[in-house]
Chain A
Amino acid sequence: MPASYAVETIGLGRVFRNRHSVVRALENVSLRVMRGEVFGLLGPNGAGKTTLVKILTTLLLPSSGKAYVLGYDVEKEANHIRPMINLVSGGDTPGYGLITSRENLWFYSQLYGLDGRTAKQRIEELLDAVGLREVADEKLRNLSTGYRQRLNLARGLINEPKVLFLDEPTIGLDVVSARRIRRLVKEWVKGDGGRTVILTSHYMAEVEELCDRVAVLNHGRVLAVGTPEELKMLVSGKTVAAVEAKFDRVEEVLDRLDAVYKSYDPATGVVRMRIVLDDWSKAADFVEKVTSMGGKVLSVVRSMPSFEDVYVKLVGGGDYETGPDT
Chain B
Amino acid sequence: MITRQVLIRNLRAAYARAYVRVRSQFNEPEWVVAEAVIPLLIVLAAATLYRVSGSGQLAGFAVVGGAMMAFWDNVLWLMASQLYWEKESGNLDLFIIAPISRMSILLGMSLGSIINTSIRAAIILLTALTILKIQLNVADPFALFLVFALTLTALYGLGMLMSSLYMLYGRGAFNLNDVLSEPIYLLSGLYFPTVGRYSPFPTILQVLASLIPLTFGIDGLRRTIILGETLESLTLHIAVLSALSIVLIPLAWRTLNYMEKLGRREGRLSLRWM
**A interface list, Cβ under 8 A from B:** 14, 16, 23, 25, 45-51, 54, 57-61, 79, 82-83, 85-87, 89, 91-96, 98-99, 103, 106-108, 110-114, 139, 155
Contact = CB atoms under 8 A, between A and B. Distances in A.
B272 A95 contact: no
Interface of B: 5, 8-9, 12-13, 15-17, 19-20, 23-24, 27-28, 89-91, 93-100, 264-265, 267, 269-270, 272-274
Given A46-B274, A57-B97, A103-B23, 20 more contacts: A16-B267, A16-B273, A57-B93, A58-B264, A59-B96, A59-B97, A60-B264, A60-B270, A86-B97, A93-B90, A94-B89, A94-B90, A94-B93, A98-B27, A107-B20, A110-B12, A113-B8, A113-B13, A113-B100, A139-B27
Nearest to A80: B99
Majority SS of interface residues in chain B? Answer: helix
A14 B267 CA distance: 10
5 nearest interchain CB pairs?
Answer: A113-B9, A92-B90, A110-B16, A98-B24, A111-B98
A95 B91 contact: yes
Contact of A111 (B8, B16, B264, B270): B16
B95 A60 contact: no
Given A57-B97, A93-B90, A50 B27 contact: no
B98 A59 contact: no
Given A50-B273, A113-B9, A58 B96 contact: yes
A58 B97 CA distance: 7
A110 B13 contact: yes
A323 B91 CA distance: 43
A114 B93 CA distance: 20
Contact of B94 (A83, A87, A91): A87
7 contacts: A14-B267, A16-B273, A25-B273, A59-B264, A60-B267, A94-B90, A113-B5
Contacts of B270: 54, 59-60
A10 to B, nearest CB: 19
Contacts of A107: 16-17, 19-20
A111 B27 contact: no
- Which of A51, A54, A59, A114 has the most C-beta atoms of chain B within 10 angstroms of its own C-beta? A59
Nearest to B10: A113
A112 B91 contact: no
A79 B2 CA distance: 12
Contact of A113 (B12, B19, B96): B12
Contacts of A112: 9, 98-99
Contacts of A87: 93-94, 97
A99 B23 contact: yes
A103 B20 contact: yes
Contacts of A47: 274
